[in-house]
Structure 1
Amino acid sequence: MKFHKVSFAILAAALVAFGVPAKAEVSEVRVAKQLGISYLPLMYMENLGLLEKHAKAQGIADLKITWSTFTGGGPMNDALISGNLHFASGGVGPFATLWDRTRGSLGVKGVTAMNSMPLYLNTRNPNVKTIKDFTPKDKIALPSVKVSIQAVTLQMAAEQAFGEGNHGRLDALTVSMGHVDGMAALLSGAGEITAHFTSPPYQYQELAQPGIRRVLSSYEVLGGPATFNVVWTTTKFREANPKVYKAFLAAFEEAIDLINKDKRAAAENYLKWSKEKDTVENIYKILNDPEIEYTTTPKNVMKYVDFLHKVGTLKAKPASWKEMFFPEVHHLPGS
């Protein structure tokens, strides 16, 4: 019996025609978030089952979602590189760092921006009016030394205050602490922590206490509103799981819409899901702050990236923000 060679294209077409399934997408998606009201879109996705909903719309039934909570971007990046995580979330600093490190390999890029929010540097030291007043006796708590977006913003502020090349002037004063622990250390009035560079809602909760004042806002350093948090993943995951990726983005966009349409419900949901001790009115006030916006549009990301490249943290400098994000968000008016 004589056999003829069949081209790969014809064979592939035949397999599709006869219903032979292509390689299946993942049956479990591992997503990570951090603490704070800035992660509210991911909290909506988790608690309302939005990713499962949109996965079903893509024809993927029974998708398992495993949620993890991290206290900083560094450990989250390690988990993503090792394959123990599919979607990471955090500040622009950790995101940009991993984008730079994985160019030509895993190809980490941004899925979407999550919000624009100011970050406050608060202190209990009455002698500190500006960052120039910090002394070696002060210690500044922030999520991750040199890596977190707070640490990068502090470096940018230091260079503005002390001059070109002095971006690391205050690095020795910084201490890595999660937001909740940093707030507790600041408000205790004891110990070495005299300042805390944090995020909503913790910065507002701190300022509500006697003797706490704001030294700096990230918007002052950046010259306007800027993206605080980003969601990122690897090119490999996106290419291997196009339906899951599409479902994730659709679920995220729905979460953003739900928050923006009913901020009082969002405030109630945040307290219910986070189990933090605050009032609905306080959280509702934060959500209505005109400086706070839940949006998928990256804002002022390039100001951070340009600085990180200038000081040598990033080896590569993207031509624009679009080089760092996957094409699904390229239509947005980012910067």
Structure 2
Amino acid sequence: MRRTLSRLTASIGLGVSLVVGSLAAPAVAQAEGKIRIAEQFGIVYLLLNVVRDQQLIEKYGKEQGIEIEVDWAQLSGGAAINDALLSGSVDIAGAGIGPLLTVWDRTYGRQNVKAVASLGNFPTYLLSSNPNVKTIADFSAKDRIAVPAVGVSVQSRFLQYAAAKQWGDKEYNRLDKYTLAVPHPDATAALLAGGTELNGHFSNPPFQEQALANKDVHVVLNSYDLLGPNSPTLLFATEKFRNDNPKTYKAFLQALAEAASFAQNDKAAAADTYIRVTKAKIDRDALIRLIDNPQYEFTITPKNTYPLAEFLYRVGAIKHKPESWKDYFFQDEQPLQGS
């Protein structure tokens, strides 16, 4: 299955590149002036593309009198991202609210991993090429649904949230058995080409829009219909990195804020940045139209994350109950006003 999907990716030109670099190296303490950032795939990581393209971390580091070395890695799936963060291989992790809540719960009172910022608000679609699947109640053993990480990714958690609404909390993981861990580019390639056992994908932009170019692919569930407008993707770090590297951490926050303003206010330039940094094979005009969608908001302020947190505690997926979104977000010099 994995080999087939890789061939499809290459032939369609969606290109998946897992740049692991030093991720396999033993963890070493990082001195002030270095930051290692792990991201994944899609427009939801556009702010990081802008930060990288314009060297904004380096810019704000120099304003504080330090040279900052920035290393970038690309992985797929919240489980891999969390492992990299906890092993000390990366300092900033980019993943969904699902993986963040998992690692926040796991490190509570120890490494104390918390979110640094949101990467924006975006709808994500659960797609299927099975004409008999109109709602999540129609999925069966004949279906396989791609998610970045089974049971952990934000897409998996959204699916569980939907299942709980459909069948009750005790059945929240009812659809997990139909899911497979497949990177977004590979899953998109499979849906576009057809002919594989993979006929479903809980996606993200722009991959979900690309997959819909196949007339047999349709939307089964929109995350905004499930939870309302929300921030599906976050950046997070350990308390130690934040405390030991205050200047580097501050430069990172300043860089993110500038990137958010840039992306929100100049969609054409943001689209050019995405294409340039990711080398995505996507039509520029189509991309501009996509990110100009009023449902897309590039901001570091988290929105509507708490319902998922409360749900995961209620069903026993996390052990510690956050009293509010502020429990799993760092509160810095300029506290975020989120939800």
TM > 0.5 fold call = yes
Q: Distance in 2 between matches of 1:180 and 1:297?
A: 27
Structure 1 residue corresponding to 2:149, chosen from 131, 144, 150: 144
- Is 1:154 the counterpart of 2:159? The answer is yes
Partner of 1:172: 177
Partner of 1:204: 209
Partner of 1:44: 50
Deviation for aligned residue 1:243: 0.7
State the SS of the aligned residue for 2:219.
strand
Residues 1:287 and 1:305: Cα distance change in structure 2 (over 3 Å): same
Deviation for aligned residue 1:209: 2.1
Partner of 1:8: none
Instruction: For 1:41-120, list aligned pairs within 5 A.
Output: 41-61=47-67, 63-120=68-125
Instruction: For 1:267-278, list aligned pairs within 5 A.
Output: 267-278=271-282
User: What code does the residue aligned with 1:231 have?
Assistant: L
Partner of 1:6: none
Structure 2 residue corresponding to 1:261, chosen from 265, 281, 306: 265
Alignment: residue pair count = 310
- Is 1:245 the counterpart of 2:249? The answer is yes
User: What code does the residue aligned with 2:77 have?
Assistant: G
Structure 1 residue corresponding to 2:321, chosen from 312, 317, 321: 317
For the 8 Å contact 2:264–2:299, the answer to whether it is kept is no
Q: Distance in 1 between matches of 2:238 and 2:174?
A: 34
Partner of 1:128: 133
Residues 1:164 and 1:100: Cα distance change in structure 2 (over 3 Å): closer
Q: Distance in 1 between matches of 2:38 and 2:54?
A: 16
- Flag as ranges the 4+ runs of structure 1 deviating above 4 A: none
Q: Distance in 2 between matches of 1:278 and 1:50?
A: 25
Structure 2 residue corresponding to 1:182, chosen from 173, 184, 187: 187
> Percent identity, aligned pairs only?
44
For the 8 Å contact 2:32–2:247, the answer to whether it is kept is no
User: What code does the residue aligned with 2:132 have?
Assistant: N
TM-score by length of 2: 0.89
Q: Distance in 1 between matches of 2:118 and 2:169?
A: 30
For the 8 Å contact 2:147–2:179, the answer to whether it is kept is yes
User: What code does the residue aligned with 1:59 have?
Assistant: G
Deviation for aligned residue 1:287: 0.7
For the 8 Å contact 1:180–1:202, the answer to whether it is kept is yes
Q: Distance in 2 between matches of 1:105 and 1:125?
A: 45
Deviation for aligned residue 1:168: 1.2
Q: Distance in 1 between matches of 2:81 and 2:139?
A: 31
- Is 1:191 the counterpart of 2:196? The answer is yes
Deviation for aligned residue 1:329: 7.5
For the 8 Å contact 1:139–1:194, the answer to whether it is kept is yes
Deviation for aligned residue 1:181: 0.6
Write out per-residue CA displacement over residues 125-157 of structure 1, whole angstroms, 9 at most, x where no aligned residue: 111111111110110011110000000000111
Partner of 1:32: 38
Q: Rg: which structure is higher? A: 1
State the SS of the aligned residue for 1:328.
coil
Structure 1 vs Structure 2 CA RMSD:
1.3
Residues 1:329 and 1:309: Cα distance change in structure 2 (over 3 Å): farther
Unaligned runs of 5+ in 1: 1-23
State the SS of the aligned residue for 2:171.
coil
Q: Distance in 2 between matches of 1:272 and 1:300?
A: 31
Q: Distance in 2 between matches of 1:243 and 1:329?
A: 12
Q: Distance in 1 between matches of 2:222 and 2:278?
A: 25
Partner of 1:217: 222
Deviation for aligned residue 1:162: 2.1
